[in-house]
Structure 1
């Protein structure tokens, strides 16, 4: 029996080598190579599976190819479909020349058309408008994205009307949501909002440099970047009267317009007292005015919660409207701040 199986395997290999590429209208079933013409919708299970024309069913092997549309499942190391896919591709490399209406799961997933299903892998690419989901380390979509990209790097050069969620998100026009550490958009439409540590919008964004004064630190410098509705502020503060003069931190703010000149400007941020290891959580409710297209003035009350490190001297503000020490480590101070901003964005 063992000898017979070896002979059958050898014959199968020889037949596959002889018939490969000779006549694609002949069904071939061997151990190494399977071939199915159009209309031969039976499962292909082998090392290399090749279906010509439109095909339905399953291909399970190391290399699976289909020259036209495929409905069913391809499971292998390399899977390729010449037209649209309506089903499942699972492999190391999955490629479809037409639209994807099912799912691609692999290390590299590629569609030369739209994705109306899901791409799940390390690298996902699609070349036309998408209403589906890309989830991976790197996701790229070359046309309008109506679906979602979730990954480390998400890229779309045209427009995002769905969502980008990742460490780095880039798009041409933002109409809905970017959520990440770094967000970039050429322009933004009404309803678009980037949320992240650093959000850069070239047209319609907000970038400003601020110098300010408050009851704890007479010298403050901060950078504001994002959009007027929600921006990130990166802060540095200095008080020469403190034993440890410097503090650094970051937070969030918003400019809410009240007419063409005035606006309301709530802000909240966290400061770390560098050497003393104290933490200061600060919230302010500012009122602002546009002095010119580039210059803004803001001022308003603020509340600071100071969490002292163990065995550290109390911080004495220059002034305060209210001050309450709750225990050795916690203190509340109500004060005021004022600042001048130079707006860098148009």
Structure 2
């Protein structure tokens, strides 16, 4: 019985809805040629078999209509003829045309100084939830559009050097609202030093009276001269003012650059608004065209999607950009861009860019770029780039690129060229050429050996791992190669202030006069012992183990006393003589300060 009652009820509920839908979805073909709207609606009534009801004051009935449609839905035709300002209700075949409800309303007025009554220009007026905003013009006038459906509206008036004013909006219709702002009272700060008033000391007259001097018959006594202890003055160089000036100059330059990326209105809002506004998701087409509207630089988003490029205040989770991402303050999470990622204050997470990642503040996490990574402030984590990594402050982590630079290295550098101004004790650069200016290892070495009359070597890097660049000469002496160049690696130890040792491995090529088609090869391992005669000058001696591949038949090392082996063999597809022997080298080293 219940089922029998339910079925008719469902019929009466569903049928009117289907009738409404069928009336709007009915397909109509019509050709209206320069006819007034009133007649055009009658033609539609006839073709669609419906009836229109409307208030004549709502529609422009005298407006001429030119319209042609082939098998289009009635809903589509009405939208194109009447436009978005007219809505309609359907009851079966009866359609009521009426004015569409208002979606937005406007608030306008003037902003004045509460003390002088003068109009204030460039005041930011904004609503934090919708991010609607406006600026006063030169006459202090503003006009802002707000949504009718917004439940709670607190309109904020903000200007630099003025107190923030919050005005609740209860009426959802167009209205006038003029306000006065009060200037912010800044506490006075004493800039001059306050010193205590010095009172003059009263000196007692200790000179003996004349009578006492006349009556005294004592002999003159020698006057003892106190010994003066001369202390060596230590010169303390105070660079705090200079460093503060450099930091201030950098901050100004950074702010100027970040401001340059904003439009004029965005700049004005950024100077005025102290709030940290929030919106979960934003989508931008360009930095000045997106859902953050003109308040992007002061808005924090969880997720930011930039079709081409976007500019926002902070991002907490994810930002993706087709070309570039610009963040004024902080980025936390994952940031990926086709070309460039740039953050102004701090970054923590993962950055990936086709060209470059630039962090003008601190950074922590992984930075991966096709070309360049740049960190201006302290950096922690991994920098990996196709060409260049730059850490202008301390980096605690690893840099991997063909060229790496760090002002202070606290970790590992892996690249072809590694440069650091300073380093911590356990830091290590590994590459073809490494240079550490402070706390690094450098030696310019002049020595002789059983094979060469003169060798000049330059060693650079750190004590644990350094590069060796070598050249050697024998000045045409018999049974010696004419000249050679070599490259090697080494490590060193210290046993005190003056004594140390090092292990070097060097590979060299030699050539004879007028013969460059075959280059002899020399491999040498040496264990050296160094003694510093002065802070920058040391003497050393080192036993060596040598392996030589010679193509020049005029060279013969079989007479060496410590020869270990001699044989003729194939080397790299050519006939060659190979020698193995124990040798030596000794000389002088010019050392860096360490």
Q: 1:111 is matched with which residue: 343, 348, 360? A: 343
Provide the rounded CA distance (Å) in 2 between the counterparts of 1:200 and 1:269.
19
Provide the rounded CA distance (Å) in 1 between the counterparts of 2:487 and 2:508.
7
How big is the shift at 1:198?
A: 2.3
Q: 2:331 is matched with which residue: 79, 89, 100? A: 100
Which residue does 1:49 correspond to in 2?
A: none
Greater Cα radius of gyration, structure 1 or 2: 2
Q: Indicate how the Cα distance of structure 1 residues 65 and 224 shifts in structure 2: closer, same or farther if over 3 A, else same.
A: farther
Following superposition of structure 1 onto structure 2, how do residues 130-169 of structure 1 map, counting pairs within 5 Å? 130-136=363-369, 137-151=371-385, 152-169=387-404
Which residue does 1:237 correspond to in 2?
A: 472
Provide the rounded CA distance (Å) in 1 between the counterparts of 2:559 and 2:455.
14
Matched, 1:87 2:318: yes
Which residue does 1:30 correspond to in 2?
A: none
CA contact (8 A) 1:84 1:97 kept: no
Which residue does 1:272 correspond to in 2?
A: 509
Provide the rounded CA distance (Å) in 1 between the counterparts of 2:554 and 2:451.
14
How big is the shift at 1:256?
A: 0.2
Flag structure 2 segments of 5+ consecutive residues without an equivalent. 1-68, 85-131, 135-143, 149-275, 570-575
CA contact (8 A) 2:303 2:315 kept: no
Matched, 1:220 2:455: yes
Which of the pair has the greater relative contact order for Cα pairs under 8 Å at 6+ separation?
1
TM-score, scaled relative to structure 2:
0.48
How big is the shift at 1:21?
A: 7.5
Q: 2:407 is matched with which residue: 162, 167, 172? A: 172
CA contact (8 A) 2:459 2:466 kept: yes
Flag structure 1 segments of 5+ consecutive residues without an equivalent. 13-19, 28-51
How big is the shift at 1:104?
A: 2.2
How big is the shift at 1:26?
A: 4.8
RMSD, aligned CA: 3.1
CA contact (8 A) 1:237 1:246 kept: yes
Q: For each residue in 1:80-112, what CA deviation from the matched residue of structure 2 results, as whole angstroms up to 9, or x when unmatched? A: 322234113132111112322222222111011
Matched, 1:281 2:529: no
Which residue does 1:207 correspond to in 2?
A: 442
How big is the shift at 1:271?
A: 0.5
Which residue does 1:129 correspond to in 2?
A: 362
Q: Indicate how the Cα distance of structure 1 residues 243 and 187 shifts in structure 2: closer, same or farther if over 3 A, else same.
A: closer
Q: Indicate how the Cα distance of structure 1 residues 211 and 326 shifts in structure 2: closer, same or farther if over 3 A, else same.
A: same
How many residues are treated as equivalent by the alignment? Answer: 312
How big is the shift at 1:268?
A: 0.6
CA contact (8 A) 1:188 1:204 kept: yes
Q: 1:54 is matched with which residue: 278, 284, 290? A: 278
TM-score, scaled relative to structure 1:
0.79
Provide the rounded CA distance (Å) in 2 between the counterparts of 1:343 and 1:76.
56
Matched, 1:342 2:590: yes
How big is the shift at 1:59?
A: 3.3
Identify which range, 78-87 or 140-149, moves more after superposition. 78-87
Provide the rounded CA distance (Å) in 1 between the counterparts of 2:290 and 2:483.
63
- Considering fraction of residues, name the structure with more helix: 2
How big is the shift at 1:251?
A: 0.9
- Considering fraction of residues, name the structure with more strand: 1
